[in-house]
Amino acid sequence: QGKVYLFDKVFKPNASQEKVYNEAAKSIVTDVLSGFNGTIFAYGQTSSGKTHTMEGVLGDPQKQGIIPRIVNDIFNHIYAMEENLEFHIKVSYFEIYMDKIRDLLDG
């Protein structure tokens, strides 16, 4: 018997990084800036484009992925605040491959 899987959205192969970010991740950033936790989970077979979607082409504003866009939005929000507040930002970036967990930020 087959299983039913639910999903929110499917993007065309030629969808821009900006479109993917705006439609799949930007609302999570808004929630995080309101005090909620946020998670973006990229799942798929090997070489299906998860890393490209998450990282994109660093240094190219049009082709940067979800992670650099999130970082830009969070820090732009902080710098635009008129209050002098202290922020603590914690980020995790993990890969699960062949049932092994690897921290991608731990060099």
- Is 53 annotated as belonging to a binding site? no
- Is 39 annotated as belonging to a binding site? no
- Is 50 annotated as belonging to a binding site? yes
Q: Are 33 and 77 in contact (CB under 8 A)?
A: yes
Q: At a CB cut-off of 8 Å and minimum separation 6, what does 32 contact?
A: 38, 74
- Is 56 annotated as belonging to a binding site? no
- Is 48 annotated as belonging to a binding site? yes
Which run of H or of E encompasses 102?
A: strand 100-103
Going from the C-alpha of 71 to that of each of 1, 5, 13, 91, the distances in angstroms are: 43, 30, 24, 10
- Is 47 annotated as belonging to a binding site? yes
- Is 49 annotated as belonging to a binding site? yes
- Is 38 annotated as belonging to a binding site? no
Neighbouring-strand partners of residue 102? 95
Give the residue numbers of the binding site: 44-51
Residues of each annotated binding site for ATP? 44-51
